[in-house]
């Protein structure tokens, strides 16, 4: 039923690694105020 296209929406050109941006992404996904923490908090509160 689903049709999956394995193409990027935008072409990303990376000239060199950016440590500051990597730390920012890591904070948003797995940090104390990140998305994963918030999702788990909503999940636990739904059963409360």
Give the model's pLDDT for residue 20.
Answer: 93
Query: Does 6 map to a domain?
Result: no
Q: Under 8 Å CB-to-CB from 29, ≥6 apart: which residues?
A: 35, 36
Query: Does 13 map to a domain?
Result: no
Give the model's pLDDT for residue 40.
Answer: 85
**In whole angstroms, what is the distance from residue 33 CA to residue 39 CA?**
11
Q: Under 8 Å CB-to-CB from 27, ≥6 apart: which residues?
A: 33, 34
Domain residues for 44?
18-48
The tally of domains found in the chain comes to: 1
Give the confidence band of 13 by pLDDT, cuts at 50, 70, 90: confident
Query: Does 11 map to a domain?
Result: no
Q: Nearest CA to 17 among 9, 25, 8?
A: 25
**In whole angstroms, what is the distance from residue 48 CA to residue 38 CA?**
15
Q: Structure pTM?
A: 0.45
Query: Does 45 map to a domain?
Result: yes
Across the range 17-42, mean pLDDT stands at: 83
Query: Does 43 map to a domain?
Result: yes
């Amino acid at each position: 039923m689903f049709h999956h296209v394995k193409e990027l929406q935008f072409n990303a050109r990376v000239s060199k690694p950016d440590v500051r941006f990597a730390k920012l992404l890591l904070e948003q996904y797995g940090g104390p105020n990140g998305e994963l923490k918030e999702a788990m908090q909503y999940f636990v509160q739904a059963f409360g």
